[in-house]
A = this chain, B = another copy of it.
Amino acid sequence: MRRSKTSRHPFSAETIKRLSLYVRNLRQLQAKDTQVFSSSRISQFLNITPDQFRKDLSYFGEFGKRGVGYQVSTLIEAIERILGLDKAWKIALVGVGRLGSALLGFPGFSSFNMKIVAAFDSDKGKVGTVQDGLTVLPIARMKESIRENKITIAMVCTPPEVAQEVCDILIDAGVKAILNYAPVNIKAPREVFISTIDMACELESLIYFINR
């Protein structure tokens, strides 16, 4: 379930998601010492047509050479630059429950220049404990800590009842993008990007397709 506010762009949010996918697959190609590839090969490792691949890239420039193909390392760098992954991004995590704790331990962020640098919880039993190298801070310290560390991205893993309140504080402190795992619609100013992930939604799509 996602509701990124992307209607102001000529391409869909799905294009951006596919770029993330491309960069992962290109890195795998690179790890196998492949230096050049043609777009026709993309279907071999992704359920994507060569046309879709070329169209997605075309929004951002020209990256391949006719008759030669794409230089893997150049294309990786280009997509990482498009996505903003050439810079380091600091993330705040709110709600160190089971999901929050799983996200704290997720090894996949660092290879894309993202790092959870602060974790917050309202539970006094959790505040002060160290999880994956971070000391859990109380919600009362959140605003100050986010401002001090100039954090612009947050992941919210709180119960639904408090998610809106938490998001209001985050936005007030300067957060521009929130990945919300609480099953509730978050209201936010137009310039703040909210993406809500609902584990059950992901399953529903699969159920639809196997049910037919």
**Chain A interface (Cβ within 8 Å of chain B)?**
1-7, 13-14, 16-17, 19-21, 24-25, 28, 45-48, 82-85, 87, 89, 91, 97-99, 101-103, 105-106, 108-109, 111-112, 114, 152-153, 155, 176-179, 183, 185, 193, 195, 197-211
In the bound complex, CA of A38 to CA of B22 (Å): 40
Assess the B4–A207 pair: CB atoms within 8 A: no
Assess the B16–A1 pair: CB atoms within 8 A: no
Contact status of A3 and B17, CB under 8 A, knowing A102-B101, A203-B91 = no
Assess the A98–B87 pair: CB atoms within 8 A: no
Measured between beta carbons, the chain B residues less than 8 angstroms from A84 are: 204, 207-208, 210-211
- How many copies of the chain does the oligomer comprise? 2
Assess the A2–B17 pair: CB atoms within 8 A: yes
Most chain B CB inside 10 Å of its own CB: which residue of A20, A111, A114, A205: A205
User: Can you list 23 A-B pairs, Cβ within 8 angstroms, ordered by A?
Assistant: A3-B21, A4-B206, A5-B209, A14-B14, A17-B205, A20-B204, A83-B211, A84-B210, A84-B211, A89-B203, A89-B207, A98-B101, A98-B102, A98-B105, A99-B99, A99-B106, A106-B200, A108-B198, A108-B199, A112-B203, A114-B200, A155-B203, A177-B209
Most chain B CB inside 10 Å of its own CB: which residue of A19, A198, A199, A206: A206
Known: A3-B21, A4-B209. 7 other contacts (CB 8 A): A3-B48, A13-B205, A16-B205, A91-B203, A153-B207, A179-B203, A195-B205
